[in-house]
Structure 1
Amino acid sequence: MATNLLTPGATDKIITTCRTAIGDSLRSVTYFTRDDYEQLYLRDDLERDADLSTFIGHEWRGFKTVQTAYERSELGEYNYTIRVFDNGFLLRVTTDSDGVIITTDGLTLKDFEEVATALNSVLPEIGA
């Protein structure tokens, strides 16, 4: 789905941020808002058959649920979500208005922290 939610410069910034932190383990990058989404990157060896609209809907609702559930928690503010699957990982970094979902091959927790921190810096600059 090419919706041109972002400028080419913003798209490049997100992809470069992810590729720099993750390298060849990066599988895909999808930017989303409350109303729309755009897959910015898909590694060449993968099929374009994921149901992204369902993923995005679930991840957006999940972010809102988590944000509300853990308000004023002794754990501190919500930062990001990692989901673990048989064939890879999903990282969700979300603000109140937009977010990025990336999928990866195996990474360390430090790698996830690095890319999440970088994306948290980039999102406010390009925000919806």
Structure 2
Amino acid sequence: MASTLLVENVADQVVTAARTATGDRLRSVTYFTRTDYDQLYLREDLERDADVMSFIGHEWHDFKNTRDAYRSSELGAYRHTIRVFENGYLLRITTDRDGVFVTTDGLTMSDFEAVASAVVAVLEDR
């Protein structure tokens, strides 16, 4: 899928990073800013009718609230969020200006850590 928000090679790197860490369990990859998004990958067996913009609004707002709420926590700095749903998981990796959410079938905690680290590395290198 072509991106209008990211340079093509960066979009490809984000998808490759997610795909490498998840294999066939990857459902989708979406890059987003506060006001827009690009769905970079969607597995063929999934419907293309999700209301992604409403996800973006919730994820962006929640990132800001979560980061602020835990700013001085003994747990350390906020890194990413994992949401569990009936049919899969959503991993949100967010910076102050943009983010990526990756949806998957079941993964281990170390798999989620690998995805998050790989995506952060791509976003930081651009």
Structure 1 length normalisation: TM-score? 0.94
Structure 2: runs of 5+ lacking an equivalent = none
Partner residue of 1:90? 90
Partner residue of 2:57? 57
- Partner Cα distance (2:26, 2:35) in 1: 25
Residues 29 and 40 in structure 1, CA contact (< 8 A), matched pair in contact too: yes
Residues 31 and 39 in structure 2, CA contact (< 8 A), matched pair in contact too: yes
- Partner Cα distance (1:17, 1:98) in 2: 17
Segments ≥4 residues shifted beyond 3 Å = none
Q: Which amino acid aligns with 1:71?
A: R
How many pairs does the alignment contain? 126
Partner residue of 1:67? 67
Structure 1: runs of 5+ lacking an equivalent = none
Tell me the percent identity. Answer: 63
SS of equivalent to 1:18: helix
Partner residue of 2:16? 16
Q: Which amino acid aligns with 2:91?
A: L
Q: Which amino acid aligns with 2:9?
A: G
Q: Which amino acid aligns with 2:37?
A: Y
Structure 2 length normalisation: TM-score? 0.96
SS of equivalent to 1:73: coil
Cα offsets for 1:68-127 (capped at 9, x unmatched) = 00011111000100000010000000011110001000111110011111111111223x
- Partner Cα distance (2:2, 2:21) in 1: 25
SS of equivalent to 2:73: coil
Residues 94 and 100 in structure 2, CA contact (< 8 A), matched pair in contact too: yes
Q: How does 1:84-123 map to 2 (within 5 A)?
A: 84-123=84-123
SS of equivalent to 2:107: coil
Partner residue of 1:48? 48
Q: RMSD of aligned C-alpha atoms? A: 1.3
